[in-house]
Amino acid sequence: FIPKVFNGSGDAALLVSYQPWVIAAGFCALFGGALALLQARHMRRDLMVLTLALSGFAMTHMLIAGFEPYARARAGIALVPAIGAELKPDTPILVLDHDEPSLAWYLRRQLSMRTEAAFRRQWRDDAAAGTLVLAVMKGATFVRLRHDGVPMRVVARDARRVVVANR
């Protein structure tokens, strides 16, 4: 099911690696619930509440801990050093056809969203003026633009996105 939903985005492998964590958390919740039910049958209410609380805590911890690699990949943290090396205070960063709120936060910069047509115009004009511009786009968009002859230099890439410069 997961590869069909996330085909080509690079997320499928990370979500598949998250699956054991979800299964373990489910078993933790199931075991904790069964043990709490047993304690309730013996009228041990305090112990039942404690069991539910501990199993809930353990389950939540497993879900959060297992999600960390996926969350880091979605946020684009690995791209930040390469992008930071290219940035100057006045360098605009364009985002093409998708949103990157986490990347904006890690870079402490505002990212400007563009449609492909607006991107092509600004990219061409800024390159002609000698202004450095960075752009973040999906891999498929990068391949299409490169095929169309748009001049780009790859700054960084991961499974989800490609960061390019116009010079």
Q: Report the candidate in 142, 161, 138 with the shortest Cα–Cα distance to residue 153.
A: 142
pLDDT at 120: 93
pLDDT at 4: 53
- Tell me how far the alpha carbon of residue 15 is from its chain's centroid: 11
CA distance 59 to 24: 8
- Quick check: helix, strand or coil at residue 112? strand
* Residue 112, beta-bridge partner list: 94
pLDDT of 95 reads 94
pLDDT of residue 10: 62
pLDDT per residue as tens, the chain (167 positions)? 455 555 555 677 778 888 999 999 999 999 999 999 999 999 999 999 999 999 999 999 999 999 888 887 778 888 999 999 999 989 999 999 788 888 888 899 899 999 999 999 999 999 999 999 999 999 899 999 999 999 999 999 988 889 999 98
- Cα Rg, the chain, nearest whole Å: 23
Paired tokens of 102: 């986490």
What is the reported pLDDT for 159?
81
